[in-house]
With several copies, the nearest count.
Chain A
Amino acid sequence: MIEQMLAFFNSNYHLITIVILSIFLGIEVISRVPAVLHTPLMSGANAIHGVVIIGAIIVMGEAHEGDILSLILGFLAVVLGTLNVVGGFVVTDRMLEMFGKKKKK
């Protein structure tokens, strides 16, 4: 078990480094957000994790013609992922449009 974990660690070392750097970066980058922007920031971040759609596209695009189950599930996954991405960005933009008016200071 431990051996497997170490092997996993080794073979994914660079990815793990990327994960750790990204964690720090995620924290640093938003740590001074004012309270008014909490909702749009949440919404914008929500749209960004829609990047999971790329996985859905790959799954869908690699499914065999005959594999109806995969095709249907993959189709659903792409639709849902697109909803997340597109809806997320659009709704964030609308929020910020409203808030934006308040800005000028």
Chain B
Amino acid sequence: MEQFQELLSTNPFLLLSYLIGSITFIMGLKMLSHPDTARKGNMIAAVGMTLSIFTTIFLYKNHNGEGLHNYGWIFAALVIGTVVGTMAAKKVQMTAMPEMVSLFNGMGGACAMLISLIEYNGDLAPAPGKLLIIVLGMIIGTVSFAGSMIAWGKLNGRIKDRTIPGGQVINFAIFGAVIFLSAMVVGGYTGNHAVFYAILGFAALYGILFVMPIGGADMPVVISLLNSFTGVAAAFGGFLYNNPVMLTGGILVGSAGTILTILMCKAMNRSLMNVLIGSFGAKPGAAGPGGNKEQGNAKEISLNDTAVLMAYAQKVMIIPGYGLAVAQAQHTCHELEKVLTEKGVEVSYGIHPVAGRMPGHMNVLLAEADVPYEKLLEMEDANDQMGGVNVVMILGANDVVNPAAKDDPSSPIYGMPILEVEKADHVIVNKRSMKPGYAGIENELFFRPKTSMLFGDAKKVLQDLVSELKNV
């Protein structure tokens, strides 16, 4: 185990660049968490990363004082990765970004896994400490890789949500197998290479089965969790090579990612456990019937009446939600806003931080349709201005306007901050049916006196509304 004690290199410039790299990661993460500095933070971390990569290539020397070779291979790989990565990242649609993040995260996990594989092949009798690190790095990397791929598949619709009966038990068994086999390998009870590869297989299986039953809508949370896994896997690489920048970078992401996962859950008022076991997100089918349980009569409103009401309002607030994204109606929505503005109506958007299926979803969606950003109100501002609004138009949002979050302590979403639409004079809700949203619960709002329902697909309804309005 002695090699761990040695410094990875005696080149002070390489060490210095690693120190700078670590510092840029810390600053980058810090700046990424403030709106004004986020973009700069990302740049800074990227600069530190670039520095660390190039100093490694040129200054790294192993214990025998030999530098790296195979430069051709290395640069070829770097170029390929850069070109493909840049193109993919530039081309991806805004709404497909979480998928992309999941894919890139999977790549990182796979990279960690491959490093462990090569190290295992290269050193047939490693010290137990080194072997432990190799095995742990491989397991976590593999789980992260496999899980990310499933998350990616779910987000782009290739893989459907499916709960396997007894899935928890199977998962638990696989997890046990992974631990048991690892102990055998690391403890030196078996030298059989097949056992090592069995660990790899079980870890991949575990990653798949871990993500499989979780509802597609919960994927941002899962990706954040897997993201922190990959961070830990990278940190194991840091231990393996006694490399401080891998260590700090990996651990920073591991801990920041874990906290971020928890914060994300909090923002939608759920616990991490809840997401992982899939207590409400996973069963859109199961929640469906609830929609039939009538609690009174929802009032409907005609397109024509809606057009009239809006045209003669002074202030209209649009509340976009997940349905608007599903219907891809952001451009038509912008259209509506422009028509109303021409008629002298003051239009704004009320943006709930967790409306949609990823944080900031609505900001991204409306930015895509070129909605001017001064019109987007954050939740607090929107609620402050709600009192003066004549007509609130809810487009495919549900949970984020559910008054149960404020009034009903028994509701699963109780405590989540909502857009308080009932402070306005009229509330018009557009959705296709009386079915519940993500949380799978009833929404009293639809039955309240101020509320009228305007059923239909958001895009269709908005198109019709726009032509109606042009005639008013």
Contact = CB atoms under 8 A, between A and B. Distances in A.
A33 to B, nearest CB: 4
Contacts of B77: 60, 75-76, 78-79, 82
B74 A61 contact: yes
Nearest to B187: A1
Nearest to B5: A11
Contacts of B230: 46, 49, 52
B233 A52 contact: yes
Looking at chain B's contact residues, the main secondary structure is: helix
Q: Contact residue range for chain B?
A: 35 or more
Given A17-B248, A19-B251, A69-B121, A56 B114 contact: yes
B39 A96 contact: yes
Contacts of B39: 93, 96-97, 100
B142 interface: no
A52 B115 contact: yes
Contact of B78 (A78, A91, A94): A78
B115 A55 contact: yes
B321 interface: no
Looking at chain A's contact residues, the main secondary structure is: helix
Interface of B: 1-2, 4-5, 7, 10, 12, 15-16, 19, 21-23, 25-26, 28-30, 32-36, 38-39, 41-43, 45-46, 49, 52-53, 56-57, 60, 62, 67-71, 73-74, 76-78, 80-82, 84-86, 88-90, 92, 94, 97-98, 100-101, 103-105, 107-108, 110-112, 114-115, 117-119, 121-122, 128-129, 187, 220, 223-224, 227-228, 230-231, 233-235, 237-257, 259-260, 263-264, 267, 353-354, 358-360, 363-364, 367-368, 373, 376, 378
Given A55-B241, A63-B70, A82-B81, 15 more contacts: A10-B15, A16-B19, A33-B263, A35-B353, A38-B267, A40-B38, A45-B227, A48-B28, A58-B243, A62-B68, A75-B77, A76-B114, A86-B82, A89-B46, A93-B39
8 contacts: A30-B259, A35-B353, A39-B97, A63-B122, A79-B77, A81-B81, A88-B89, A89-B46
Interface of A: 1, 4, 6-63, 65, 67, 69-71, 73-105
